Structure 1
Amino acid sequence: MLHTTTTAAGRRAAFRAGLAAPGLLRLPGAPNPLGARMIETAGFDGVYVSGAVVSADLGLPDIGLTTLSEVAGRTEQITRVTDLPVLVDADTGFGEPLSAARTVQVLEDSGAAGCHLEDQQNPKRCGHLAGKALRPPEDMVRTLTAAVRARRDPDFVVCARTDAAAVEGLDASIDRARAYVDAGADMVFAEAMAGPADIERFRAAIDVPLLINMTEFGRSELLTATALSDLGVDVVIYPVTLLRLAMGAVADGLRALADEGTQAGLLDRMQTREQLYDVLDYDAYAAFDESVAGFRP
């Protein structure tokens, strides 16, 4: 009820422990705090805050238009309601190395367990679209160095994302990843891997945890959690899955409402009032209020 009962430090320690343990951590992207509650109830290992989802929720394309305050605000809303560790997409760090340093500290304050920073130039693009341009690796190294030095909690995970596979090729992406690990990155996010063979090569080339993105309608083959685990992947994110499901249902519902003039035919596809109240822990709020103020709903 009200807020998570675990501390941010405790969730960071749990995320670190999960990364050190065998097996795959599965992090769906939460479109909002309610989605984060549902992710936890469904038994997943963590929650992801996707830059693409935050952008879309604001009615913006994912081209680096969101601000640190918008991303941190959404992160704080989500960390308030879940005991799971939350990993945040921090784009390019919202500026130069000093800005990346501030980004880490602001996201620490928001309750995040970690964030990833990417090596694209601004304006950045979705990792599965054409037209991406990369910063020189030495620029990314400076950003990561600033980010790692800025964190106050050593358990806060700084992950380096490289988009080089789709731009410069797999070998270049591995070279970049190794340089980012040398700069202090705790984990590497290899974006837009084409398939199992590329993931296997990447996994063998680095000695820190590996994150893979299973986003729909992109460059990557959609692999099962079992297949990813067998390849040695440590973390998988499903960044936009829940938003796409929800918005697909919204579009279908609006068409039906416009055509039929009523939502009566949609009721069996809706989350019921009882189910919503269960996710929100409504009864616990009511019991608390009754215990201190005598209020009964």
Structure 2
Amino acid sequence: MQKPRSLREQLEDKNRIIVLPGVFDALSARIAEQVGFEAMFQTGYGSSAALLGMPDFGFLNAGETVDNARRIIRAVSVPVLVDADTGYGNPLNVWRLVRDLEALGAAGIFLEDQIWPKRCGHMVGKDVIPKDDYLPKLKAAVEARKSRDFIIVARTDARAPLGLDEAIERGKAYRKAGADVIFVEAPRTVEELKKVADEIDAPLVANMIEDGVTPNLTGPELLKLGYRIAVWPLSGLYSATYAMREVFTELKKTSYTKKTRKMMVTFKDFNEFVDLQKYMGLEKRYS
């Protein structure tokens, strides 16, 4: 079996865009890998919802992020890029977080410049720390990694509180400080997406949230604009929530699920998906 390409290797292919689905637990990660994704993104928004039942509003902590990354990374063989929020503290906390995640096998992190407690990049009321406070955290992340294959994505949320020009200037500064990829969060128009790509000389991330503030474009459209990574962080979470709510509503209403079976896989198919026969074979071997 051919070893999956690292995220660094995928970035070096400038003729294609890397589309990353957002995953929030081991099962969603297995699904993303099974349908053919070569890499994926551990979403903080989705992790907060799945682990805590709470919004992406600064409730998730470093330990919960690392524990979730451990389960997700163990469940798949392709690269996993981890949302590390603001790094959960000062540069030393960021340094340790990078060391811990790299040791688990993570492919890299997103590190953002919001004040703590942070919130989802498409929510109102965001603010950012001074650039000179973020740069030491970014430096710590870059210096903490042991392998160049570990990708540091520097994210700025300055667009909303300080304007697009300041966000672009931060992106340039973060690239100069050693970030591998730059992520200007929440441009509001296609023209703004294009301006970011025209002015920042670096691999760029576009964040495609359904009903968010940034227009949703296809992978080829984003690649043409100059983006290298397209993250769809909430598609899986929103679709799973919708299907589960529909099924549970029908079950509560009728005490039956016949009408919603089309939203479910079968007992047999699910057992095949989680490799039940493999573990039954191991059980037999060790009995």
Q: TM-score normalised by the shorter chain: which range applies?
A: over 0.9
> 1: distance between equivalents of 2:260 and 2:7?
39
- Equivalent residue number for residue 16 of structure 1: 8
Is 1:166 the counterpart of 2:166? The answer is: no
CA contact (8 A) 1:15 1:85 kept: yes
**CA shift for structure 1 position 151:** 1.2
**CA shift for structure 1 position 293:** 3.4
Q: In the alignment, which of 10, 33, 45 is matched to residue 38 of structure 2?
A: 45
CA contact (8 A) 1:181 1:187 kept: yes
Q: In the alignment, which of 193, 208, 219 is matched to residue 225 of structure 1?
A: 219
> 2: distance between equivalents of 1:256 and 1:275?
22
Q: In the alignment, which of 51, 57, 63 is matched to residue 57 of structure 2?
A: 63
**CA shift for structure 1 position 170:** 1.4
Is 1:265 the counterpart of 2:273? The answer is: no
CA contact (8 A) 2:39 2:78 kept: yes
Give runs of aligned pairs for residues 207-218 of structure 1, distance below 5 A.
207-218=201-212
CA contact (8 A) 1:34 1:279 kept: no
The DSSP-based 3-state class of the residue aligned with 1:29 is strand
When normalised by structure 1's length, the TM-score is: 0.91
The one-letter code matched in structure 2 to 1:16 is R
- RMSD, aligned α-carbons: 1.7
Q: In the alignment, which of 263, 266, 279 is matched to residue 285 of structure 1?
A: 279
CA contact (8 A) 1:196 1:231 kept: no
**CA shift for structure 1 position 37:** 1.1
CA contact (8 A) 1:75 1:111 kept: no
- Number of residue-to-residue matches in the alignment: 285
- State the Cα deviation string for residues 207-234 of structure 1 (Å, max 9, x = none): 2211111012210111112211221211
Question: Segments of 4+ in structure 1 off by > 6 A?
Answer: none
CA contact (8 A) 2:197 2:204 kept: yes
The one-letter code matched in structure 2 to 1:77 is R
The one-letter code matched in structure 2 to 1:162 is T
**CA shift for structure 1 position 165:** 1.5
Q: In the alignment, which of 109, 114, 117 is matched to residue 115 of structure 1?
A: 109
CA contact (8 A) 2:246 2:260 kept: no
> 2: distance between equivalents of 1:42 and 1:232?
26
- Equivalent residue number for residue 92 of structure 2: 98
> 1: distance between equivalents of 2:190 and 2:46?
26
CA contact (8 A) 2:153 2:182 kept: yes
- Equivalent residue number for residue 35 of structure 1: 28
> 2: distance between equivalents of 1:211 and 1:275?
35
